[in-house]
Structure 1
Amino acid sequence: MTERARVVARVCQDTPSTEGTPVRENFIWDLKHTPSIVWCPTYKVASTTWMRNFLRLGRFNEHNPRIPRNLSAEETEKKRLMPKYGATHSAAFAMYGRPPTESERARALRDSVRLIIVRHPFTRLLSAYRDKMAKRDPRPRKFKFEDLQAYIVTRYRSSRSADASPFPSFPEFAQFVIDSTGNFSSAAQWKEHVRCWVPYWAHCGVCDYDYNIIMKLETMEDDQQFLIALSQLNELRTETSWAHLNGVSSSQLAMQYYKNLTRHQMLQLYKRYELDFKLFQYHIHDYLSVAKDA
């Protein structure tokens, strides 16, 4: 953990200022544990799993009369954390709202474990594609992902293509990301125009908040046990379930999808997420070796 934080500090020091980084409003402020935890949730990186973890820690729905009383403890626990009974991201943000004054927020940030969870930028992008571009009725509906699906197919699919799918292919989506973000230079631009695949540095103000606990999806089992022990999150000591982990993960499928991109496309995607790669010590070499023109 110390080495990860050192690398982030060094990369931030060597990086020109990311002017326009917006102040993060959507932290989870868990000030009930010692040390307290301030967490920046990131789309497609265990955010739903850890939202549920924090709801569990806050005893959410413990006395909800809508939940049947004749269930086993295991069944009751499962229902408590279902969206059907109100266990949503919004509920977690409401339960762990930010301190009311600027001085209280500054003190909380100074005294807390400042947490971010990351994964390889390419597997995160694939996860976003699978969740938002390759299925019907992607949530949240307010972001109108179905309209974006249709736009990408219209804009990037050749009239000679034999692909009749209503969903963009992964190469079509990748080219859209490349083209639509090529002139972005600030966090404000990313956050104004993009949903679900904003870089970590822009979404969480990585070079502004001095994160000192950096958990990685690739080493999550050990990393989360470290956090659980550090802040004595006793209710989570035996928790092993993962939200959304149905079937094969994007990490396992990554090479199968990326082999349909060219080296040039991969390198362009890398440039869009280059700072994330450097901040969190990820590499592109294995991906380049499977490119369709490798």
Structure 2
Amino acid sequence: MICTDLKLKWTLVIVLIVVPFTVLQAQCYPWLEQITRQEQLTMGCDNLVVKSRGRLNVTSLDHILVDHKHKLLYCYVPKVACTNFKRVMMVLTGESSATNLVEIPATLAHSENSTLRLSQLSRDEARACLKDYTIFLIARHPFERLLSAFRNKFVDSLPSSKYFQARYGRHILRKYRVNASRSEIQSGTNVTFQEFVHYLLTEGITTNEHWTPIYDLCSPCLLNYTFIGHYETISEDTKTVLDMVGAPPIVFPVTRSGHTKEHLRWYFQQLSIFEIQALYKMYERDFKLFGYGLEEMLGYDLA
């Protein structure tokens, strides 16, 4: 069959010309979708006219994890199932022998030495990996990812939330809440979504990796990504990537307990259309590079 070997990559582009779409769709749907995503990324990058193309600073690629055994590179994006993917990388690299990924503590998966980073390699080694290895990332709707970060770090009662409330919550309340009391500022809790957005619009969206755009984290217009996954099809995309590199069978846990998408419209209705437009402008590259829009949320698109 045409798609028996998923390592055939873009030979499917040629095959599309001679084989009916419906047949291929049934046989290897992930690659049909992948062609669309790659075209979206290529056209988006061309439209951006990236002036720094070819001038990549390898030392800045600290979000790209390395698996030499399977020749795999993964650019992790916070709030896009990156905890589970870091667990996968630990198993692939032999850092963990767990058969059930959720048995690996999240704190261990996020530790600095859990997986080798591309930025830790020499310049020549890093460039060789970028040339020869399979490299992938998983994208997510920018506003859904942003809301997930807000709810996880400022609404949920989790140990990790305490750091964000102390580090960012106090600052946001002090600067963006009118007549905030001393006790409110001291606690750093109960930051509203509108206050959080005001903070981003005023101080920028690269102050923390959890709301920094994928464009800035993964350099998708400078690196030749082999595979672009989407959060919405994460199960299928994960299987495809692992099959590509000949990984052992791994059951990827898909957990979406936050149900962020269900709350998206409610939270964004708290913002003015001008705030939404300004926020969209800040994440515009992620929207356009990965094929996302606002029509489902607003009823129309801003692009």
Fold-level similarity (TM above 0.5): yes
User: What aligned pairs does 1:59-208 form with structure 2 within 5 A after superposition?
Assistant: 59-62=94-97, 78-79=102-103, 81-83=104-106, 86-94=108-116, 100-135=121-156, 139=160, 145-159=165-179, 166-181=189-204, 191=206, 193-208=207-222
| Aligned residue type for 1:166 | T
Provide Cα deviations, 1:56-89, integer angstroms capped at 9, x if missing partner: 22343449xxxxxxxxx76xx654x1257x4444
Local SS of the residue matching 2:191: coil
Out of 272, 276, 279, the position equivalent to 2:282 is 272
Q: Which has the higher contact order (CA 8 A, sep 6+)?
A: 1
Q: Which residue of 201, 216, 237 maps to 2:230?
A: 216
In structure 1, the partner of 2:82 is: 47
Query: Structure 1 residues 18, 197: CA separation in 2 closer, same or farther (over 3 Å shift)?
Result: farther
Deviation (angstroms), 1:26: 3.3
The alpha-carbon deviation at position 157 of structure 1 amounts to 2.4
Instruction: Output the amino acid matched with 2:202.
Output: D
- 2:265 maps to 1:251: no
Contact 1:133 1:146 in 2 (8 A): no
Greater percentage in helix: 2
Cα 1:138–1:278 change in 2 (3 A) is farther
What is the deviation of 1:177?
0.9
Q: Give the match for residue 286 of structure 1.
A: 296
Describe the superposition over 1:167-195 as per-residue Cα deviations: whole angstroms up to 9, x where unpaired.
211111112111212xxxxxxxx65x334
Q: Percent identity?
A: 23
- CA deviations on 1:185-239 (whole Å, 9 max, x unpaired) are xxxxx65x33421111111111111212111001112111111221122231xx1
The 2-side partners of 1:145 and 1:195 are apart by 16
CA contact (8 A) 2:72 2:135 kept: yes
Runs of 5+ consecutive residues of structure 2 not aligned to the other structure: 1-33
Q: Secondary structure at the match of 1:282?
A: coil
Q: For residue 197 of structure 1, give the secondary structure of its aligned residue in structure 2.
A: coil
Instruction: Output the amino acid matched with 1:241.
Output: P
Which of 21, 29, 47 is the equivalent residue of 1:14?
A: 47
In the other structure, the counterpart of 2:245 is 231
Mapped contact 1:2–1:212 kept (Cα < 8 A): no
Report the TM-score when normalising by structure 2: 0.74
CA distance in 2, matches of 1:109, 1:25: 13
Measured in 1, the distance between the counterparts of 2:189 and 2:109 equals: 32
- Aligned CA RMSD, in angstroms, stands at 3.0
CA distance change for structure 1 residues 222 and 99 in 2, over 3 Å: closer, same or farther? same
Is the Cα–Cα contact under 8 Å of residues 263 and 288 in structure 1 kept in the other structure?
A: no
> What is the TM-score normalised by the length of structure 1?
0.76
Contact 2:144 2:260 in 1 (8 A): yes
SS at match of 2:258: coil
